[in-house]
Amino acid sequence: MIARFFSWVRENRRAAYDLIGLFLITIITYYFFGLFNITEAFFALTRKIEGLQIDELILFSATLLPFYLAIFAIRRWSESAKRLRQANTDSLTGLFNRRKGREIIEREIRRAVRYDRPLSIIMLDLDHFKDINDRNGHLAGDRVLRSVAQTLQDQMRNTDILMRWGGEEFIVISVETEEVEARRLAERLRAALVASPPQNNVRPTGSFGITQLQDDDTFDSFLRRVDDKLYEAKSSGRNKVV
């Protein structure tokens, strides 16, 4: 939870700086109110002005200002978070999009190399998806993609990261995972697609490629190898894991 919070702060630095600055200003304001007895000074001043009774108003205004600024900063933070989600999320499936996916993969590669930990990747492509669009239309194809995304998401472990890589292609990043374990996950995903309820009389299947990060891998070599495995699954009959 704490790690996710700080990750979020890094991605929303401007809004986070606003809130931190506002928090510090509020603390300093109330510190000086107490240090110099400003509240008592307000009361003493207003008592001399008979009939106006503005002491409560001044104190209320001085107290209200930091809270007003806090609400303003929180709204700005919320808007910034919403824009960030829109930039990082595929609007159709709600999964991470390719832009955010690349960032995640590069981050996990660096982490795996630094700590000498296993990292595996699964790439899957829906079989004959163009035929689904041609026969039933693109709206039906969209419903199939949303259904597939939900089916896959239901099979994910807490540490797995699912993203839509583009079109009918998806990627799963399996951190702390050897290839043999990633293969079991891929087989479970493949079986879940086969067993899923049909959409528009269509029950899609998928072809899966798997690979594990190697010592000399870069982002490009890692993705190229899993893409080759996916092509092998496609060319050898589809609806299989390679």
Which positions are annotated as active-site residues?
168
171: amino acid identity, one letter = I
